[in-house]
């Protein structure tokens, strides 16, 4: 008996009566009279009454299979019987009555049962059978013809040769199934029809109107099984590859490999995905013994140079899927080829993976059997490439995001020129973590790099700031004094005279050097001693009210004090810094295009910058000392441009500001280390620390034997300590004099010793601020620097 019957609410039986009616009504015979069965078949059927009516016991069919095949000849034409997978089964069951050789081979076991199972995709087999039964009832008994439910039945059965799953679309033909109404409604009301149409996919609702026990199905269902393995696997690959981390997790990768084995009908097929990132290739394969769902952590990596001349290289050059019939027979095997061969792979499919026309990796399908893959397989693989490209790009993006999170957490912003080194350090850190090893980011050290330093400072900015503070405080006190005096004149109360005296004392205090807390004391005094009297003093007359109004207009309500001169000073400093910073950025962008280097800029009361350049800072190398010499010349030229901008800014500044310019020369290469705690680069080692000391103190340097500051407005101070540095700077100065950037005025100076700094010397040159050549170079970026500030 059918195991499906136990839970299925509808009764169904096998019957050949619909087929016999088909013979009598539609088939023309030549050995009898008119239509109907041939005489010989009629006689045999008359002699087998067990084949008429409802057939409960299928074992009764066995002696009559030849006759049944003859009866089925209109259903299964002889031309298709030997090639197609065809069968007749009991209605709404998988009990097969007769099947073609292909059906028997693909889907029937030795004991006659059906091999495989339904490929469930949201619907169970029982639900599908229920829906088909209701559909047939609605169509045959009640005239429903539109909107009826359809479902594609996919059956999965193992391939007898490979053991791998094959997918079959089972297409049912219900023409030989009749519905017997044993007590259901003869007609349906409009309301019942409307309910049915609203709930066509809900058998729980339909059975209330069409009780299953009132209907019976008799006849047989014709099945045709079409192999749809390729589109089903491609669909599953599409779905699987777009799921987050689905492929690049252990379970996901094994599932992927199984699907590809099914697609290519090869139980020994292996899959390898390689991601190309910089000069590294990250290999993702089952042999990597993946333990984590990260493309990096689950892979092993190698320099891209190891794959030059390999079959991978050949696939990249061909820019398409390449099939290798037998790797062992290929000439001139590279080391990478030999590694593949050592793993037992003989036949290969290789393809590059692109995302938006950028190469991001490769796909490898391998087999231990020579000649396994051919042109047809290459065509199938070509269809999958976009799916793998999207999945690999998503994995690489996730990896980049993980790396950037760590870089931002540990290092904040990193200059683009050295980001590659941080990226590599983080990748190695992640690799150790995924291997279960305790890890911290390794030190980021660049050795043998040349340091360059330049600064443009606002001369006397501290004095100017203090003057603006004193002016604002005095203005604040004067406003308070005027209103108190007006109130005293209106009503000569002694306490007001005492308050005016205290304000005068505060005014005297802010005329000289400001002490710590003086600004806060003035603001606190005015806020607690003067302003609380305003409600009372307003009643002292119009003149007092006007004085209070003037006070309130001038005092910034959010700051509680006058902020006029300070605002002008800060706006001037801000404009100065932004204009010079924008100009420096534009010049730096051009210098960066000549050769990459580390550049760090700071804005305080002026703009200073630090540059490091050297072989160790460039991924892939290619450094030459000429690039360091070029940057040192570039620094002086930029200092001239900064001086030019400073001069032309004067007309725009509310507070006059003068600037000085300094360049520090050092031919000694040094090492720099990234300080993770301070999130910045610093020199590494006691010997190299001397450069940092000089850099931090040089702006206070004095000319030896006098009281003159080294740095002077309109001039560039070039500080050095070694003869070869002087020689190079002298060459640069002569060149810039010839170009009209600086005048012929040049001073060679010895400098007073600074704390822990001895023997420094300097050239001091005057910038030709009227030079047309300098105006052309510096002025070309004025519009760009202004637009940069706006942006």
* Mean pLDDT computed over 377-385: 91
pLDDT of 592 reads: 92
Q: How far is Cα 119 from Cα 123, in angstroms, rounded to an integer?
A: 9
Residues 6+ apart with CB under 8 A from 588: 599, 601, 609
pLDDT of 93 reads: 84
Whether residue 389 is predicted with pLDDT greater than 70 in this model: the reply is yes
pLDDT of 301 reads: 65
pLDDT of 517 reads: 85
* Mean pLDDT computed over 591-618: 92
**Two tokens, residue 466:** 């203090």
What sign does the dihedral 368-374-378-384 (CA atoms) show? negative
Q: How far is Cα 781 from Cα 753, in angstroms, rounded to an integer?
A: 39
What sign does the dihedral 185-187-189-194 (CA atoms) show? positive
Give the whole-number percent of the chain exceeding pLDDT 90. 53
CA proximity to 177, closest of 143, 224, 137: 137
pLDDT of 530 reads: 95
Say how far residue 281 (Cα) sits from the centre of its chain.
19
Q: Do 242 and 256 touch, CB atoms closer than 8 A? A: no
Q: Do 507 and 477 touch, CB atoms closer than 8 A? A: yes
**Two tokens, residue 422:** 């941080």
Can you list the domains of the chain with their CATH numbers?
Answer: 3-227 (no CATH), 231-420 (3.30.450.40), 462-563 (no CATH), 568-790 (no CATH)
Neighbour-count burial for 685-702, b at 16+ CB within 10 Å, e otherwise: eeebebbeebbeebbebe
Q: How far is Cα 377 from Cα 384, in angstroms, rounded to an integer?
A: 11
Segment among 514-523, 633-642, 675-684 with least mean pLDDT? 675-684
Each residue's pLDDT tens digit, 128-167: 888 889 989 998 999 887 766 667 888 899 988 888 999 9
pLDDT of 622 reads: 87
Q: Is residue 781 classed as helix, strand or coil in its secondary structure?
A: coil
Residue with tokens 């006659």: 112
CA proximity to 482, closest of 562, 563, 555, 546: 546
In degrees, to the nearest 5, what angle opens at C-alpha 51 toward C-alphas 47 and 57?
Answer: 130
Whether residue 298 is predicted with pLDDT greater than 50 in this model: the reply is no
Each residue's pLDDT tens digit, 334-363: 888 898 999 999 999 999 999 988 999 999
- Of 787 and 260, the structure prediction assigns the larger pLDDT to 260
Neighbour-count burial for 252-269, b at 16+ CB within 10 Å, e otherwise: bbebbbbbbbbbbebeeb
pLDDT of 292 reads: 39
Mutual angle of helices 625-649 and 723-739, in 10-degree steps: 50
Beta-strand relationship, 715-720 and 658-664: parallel
- DSSP E strand boundaries for 445-494: 445-459
In degrees, to the nearest 5, what angle opens at C-alpha 671 toward C-alphas 670 and 672?
Answer: 125
- DSSP E strand boundaries for 563-713: 598-604, 606-613, 658-664, 670-675, 680-683
Residues 6+ apart with CB under 8 A from 586: 781, 784, 785, 788
Segment among 97-106, 437-446, 542-551 with least mean pLDDT? 437-446
Q: How far is Cα 458 from Cα 768, in angstroms, rounded to an integer?
A: 19
pLDDT of 621 reads: 80
The pLDDT mean for the chain works out to: 86
Whether residue 568 is predicted with pLDDT greater than 80 in this model: the reply is yes
Q: How far is Cα 80 from Cα 94, in angstroms, rounded to an integer?
A: 21
In Å, how far are 234, 457, 646, 711, 712 from 708, measured between CA atoms?
81, 17, 22, 9, 9
pLDDT-derived band at 297 (thresholds 50, 70, 90) equals very low
pLDDT-derived band at 2 (thresholds 50, 70, 90) equals very low
| 747, burial (CB in 10 Å: exposed 0-12, middle 13-18, buried 19+) | middle
pLDDT of 784 reads: 47
pLDDT-derived band at 499 (thresholds 50, 70, 90) equals very high
* 3-state helix vs strand vs coil in the chain, percent to 5: 50, 20, 30
Q: How far is Cα 198 from Cα 201, in angstroms, rounded to an integer?
A: 9
Backbone torsions φ then ψ of 98, nearest 5 degrees = -150, 145
Would you tell me how many other CB atoms lie within 10 Å of the CB of residue 122? 6
Q: How far is Cα 624 from Cα 594, in angstroms, rounded to an integer?
A: 12
Whether residue 188 is predicted with pLDDT greater than 50 in this model: the reply is yes
* Mean pLDDT computed over 161-176: 91
- Of 268 and 516, the structure prediction assigns the larger pLDDT to 268
Q: How far is Cα 697 from Cα 789, in angstroms, rounded to an integer?
A: 31
Residue with tokens 């010989």: 40
Would you tell me how many other CB atoms lie within 10 Å of the CB of residue 180? 15
- Of 613 and 707, the structure prediction assigns the larger pLDDT to 613
pLDDT-derived band at 412 (thresholds 50, 70, 90) equals low
Whether residue 682 is predicted with pLDDT greater than 50 in this model: the reply is yes
pLDDT-derived band at 1 (thresholds 50, 70, 90) equals very low
Whether residue 746 is predicted with pLDDT greater than 60 in this model: the reply is yes
pLDDT of 706 reads: 80
| 758, burial (CB in 10 Å: exposed 0-12, middle 13-18, buried 19+) | exposed
pLDDT-derived band at 685 (thresholds 50, 70, 90) equals low
Q: Is residue 33 classed as helix, strand or coil in its secondary structure?
A: coil
Whether residue 294 is predicted with pLDDT greater than 50 in this model: the reply is no
Backbone torsions φ then ψ of 54, nearest 5 degrees = -80, 135
pLDDT-derived band at 647 (thresholds 50, 70, 90) equals very high
Give the whole-number percent of the chain exceeding pLDDT 70. 91
Each residue's pLDDT tens digit, 521-565: 999 999 999 999 999 999 999 999 999 999 999 999 888 999 999
**Two tokens, residue 31:** 């050995």
| β-bridge partners, 206 | none
pLDDT of 147 reads: 62
In Å, how far are 47, 71, 217 from 20, measured between CA atoms?
15, 8, 16
pLDDT of 428 reads: 76
Within the chain, what is the greatest distance between any pair of CA atoms? 144
Whether residue 401 is predicted with pLDDT greater than 50 in this model: the reply is yes
* Mean pLDDT computed over 650-678: 90
Order of strands, edge to edge, in the sheet holding 221-227?
96-99, 85-89, 221-227, 165-173, 153-158, 117-118
Residues 6+ apart with CB under 8 A from 96: 87, 88, 89, 103, 108, 112, 114, 223
pLDDT-derived band at 8 (thresholds 50, 70, 90) equals confident
pLDDT of 3 reads: 45
Q: How far is Cα 79 from Cα 153, in angstroms, rounded to an integer?
A: 25
Q: Do 775 and 718 touch, CB atoms closer than 8 A? A: no
């Amino acid at each position: 008996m059918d195991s499906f019957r136990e839970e299925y609410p509808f009764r169904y039986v096998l019957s050949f009566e619909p087929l016999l009616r088909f013979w009598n009504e539609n088939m023309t015979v030549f050995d009898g009279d008119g239509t109907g069965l041939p005489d010989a078949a009629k006689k045999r059927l008359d002699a087998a009454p067990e084949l008429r009516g409802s057939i409960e016991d299928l074992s009764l069919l066995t002696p009559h299979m030849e006759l049944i095949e003859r009866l089925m000849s209109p259903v299964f034409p002889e031309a298709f019987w030997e090639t197609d997978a065809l069968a007749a089964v009991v209605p709404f069951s998988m009990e097969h009555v007769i099947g073609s050789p292909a059906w028997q081979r693909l889907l029937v076991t030795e004991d006659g049962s059906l091999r495989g199972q339904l490929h469930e995709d949201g619907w169970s087999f029982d639900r599908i059978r229920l829906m088909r039964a209701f559909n047939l009832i609605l169509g045959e008994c009640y005239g429903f013809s539109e909107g009826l439910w359809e479902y594609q039945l996919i059956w999965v059965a193992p391939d007898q040769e490979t053991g791998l799953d094959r997918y079959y679309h089972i297409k049912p033909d219900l023409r030989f199934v009749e519905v017997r109404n044993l007590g259901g409604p003869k007609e349906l009301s409009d309301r019942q029809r409307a309910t049915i149409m609203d709930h066509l996919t809900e058998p729980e609702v339909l059975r209330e109107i069409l009780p299953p026990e009132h209907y019976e199905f008799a006849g047989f269902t014709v099945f045709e099984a079409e192999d749809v393995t390729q589109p089903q696997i491609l669909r599953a690959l599409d779905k699987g590859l777009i799921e987050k981390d689905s492929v690049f997790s252990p379970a996901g990768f094994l599932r992927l490999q199984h699907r590809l084995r099914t697609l290519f009908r090869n139980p020994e097929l292996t899959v390898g995905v390689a991601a190309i990132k910089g000069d590294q290739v990250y290999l993702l394969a089952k042999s990597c013994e993946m333990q984590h769902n990260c493309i990096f952590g689950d892979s092993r990596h190698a320099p891209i140079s190891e794959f030059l001349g390999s079959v991978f290289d050949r696939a990249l050059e061909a820019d398409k899927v390449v099939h290798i019939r037998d790797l062992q027979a290929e000439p001139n095997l590279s080391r990478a080829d030999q590694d593949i061969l050592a793993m037992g792979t003989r036949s290969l499919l290789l393809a590059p993976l692109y995302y938006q026309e950028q190469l991001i990796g490769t796909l490898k399908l391998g087999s231990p059997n020579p000649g396994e893959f051919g042109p047809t397989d290459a065509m199938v693989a070509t269809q999958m490439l976009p799916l793998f490209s999207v999945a690999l790009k998503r994995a690489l993006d996730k990896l980049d995001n993980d790396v950037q999170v760590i870089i931002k957490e540990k290092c904040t912003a990193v200059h683009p020129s050295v980001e590659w080194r941080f990226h590599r350090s983080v990748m190695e850190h992640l690799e150790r973590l995924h291997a279960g090893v305790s890890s911290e980011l390794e030190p980021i050290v660049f050795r043998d790099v040349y340091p360059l330093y330049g600064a443009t400072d606002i001369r006397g900015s501290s004095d100017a700031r203090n003057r603006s503070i004193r002016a604002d405080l005095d203005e604040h006190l004067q406003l308070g004094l005027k209103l108190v005096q007006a109130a005293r004149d209106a009503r000569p109360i002694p306490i007001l005279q005492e308050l005016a005296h205290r304000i005068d004392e505060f005014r005297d205090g802010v005329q000289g050097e400001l002490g710590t807390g003086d600004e806060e004391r003035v603001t606190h005094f005015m806020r607690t001693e003067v302003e609380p009297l305003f409600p009372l003093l307003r009643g002292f007359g119009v003149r007092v009210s006007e004085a209070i109004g003037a006070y309130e207009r001038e005092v910034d309500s959010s700051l509680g004090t006058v902020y006029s001169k300070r605002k002008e000073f800060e706006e001037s400093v801000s404009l100065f810094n932004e204009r010079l910073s924008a100009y420096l950025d534009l010049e730096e962008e051009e210098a960066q295009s000549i050769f990459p280097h580390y550049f760090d800029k700071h804005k305080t009361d002026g703009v200073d910058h630090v540059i490091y350049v050297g072989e160790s800072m460039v991924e892939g190398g290619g450094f030459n000392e000429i690039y360091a010499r070029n940057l040192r010349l570039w620094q002086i030229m930029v200092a001239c441009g900064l001086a030019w901008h400073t001069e032309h800014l004067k007309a725009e500044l509310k507070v006059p500001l003068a600037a000085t310019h300094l360049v520090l020369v050092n031919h000694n290469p040094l090492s720099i280390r990234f300080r993770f705690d301070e999130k910045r680069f610093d020199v590494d080692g006691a010997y190299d620390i001397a450069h940092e000391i000089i850099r931090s103190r040089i702006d206070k340097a004095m000319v030896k034997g006098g009281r003159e500051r080294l740095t002077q407005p309109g001039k560039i101070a070039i500080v050095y300590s070694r003869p070869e540095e002087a020689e190079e700077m002298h060459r640069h100065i002569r060149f810039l004099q010839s170009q009209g950037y600086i005048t012929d005025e040049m001073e060679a100076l010895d400098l007073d010793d600074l704390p822990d700094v001895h023997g420094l010397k300097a050239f001091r040159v005057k910038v030709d601020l009227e030079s047309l050549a300098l105006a052309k170079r510096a002025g070309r970026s004025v519009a760009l620097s202004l637009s940069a500030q706006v942006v």
